[in-house]
Amino acid sequence: MPQLTNRCKSRIQQIPIAQLEELGEALLDFTAPTDLAVWFEQYQ
């Protein structure tokens, strides 16, 4: 499993609780390291 970059960690820490819940649900469907970046683009 790839490690999160400091930038990703920082962005996750700034997400409101409601979006963190959405991210938690989305994580179950991630299949590639780039999926997190795509999620950020859609929800930020």
Residue 1 lies in a domain: no
12-34 pLDDT tens trace: 999 999 999 999 999 999 999 89
Pull the structure tokens for residue 37: 């970046």
Report which residue type is found at 16.
P
Rounded Cα–Cα distance for residues 36 and 44 (Å): 12
Q: In terms of residue numbers, what domain contains 19?
A: 6-43
Pull the structure tokens for residue 29: 């469907």
Segment among 6-10, 21-25, 28-32, 40-44 with least mean pLDDT = 40-44
Number of domains comprising the chain: 1
Instruction: Identify which of 14, 10, 6, 4 has the alpha carbon closest to the alpha carbon of residue 27.
Output: 4
If DSSP codes are grouped into helix, strand and coil, which group holds residue 1?
coil
Residue 39 lies in a domain: yes
Residue 27 lies in a domain: yes
Residue 16 lies in a domain: yes
Q: Are 18 and 42 in contact (CB under 8 A)?
A: no
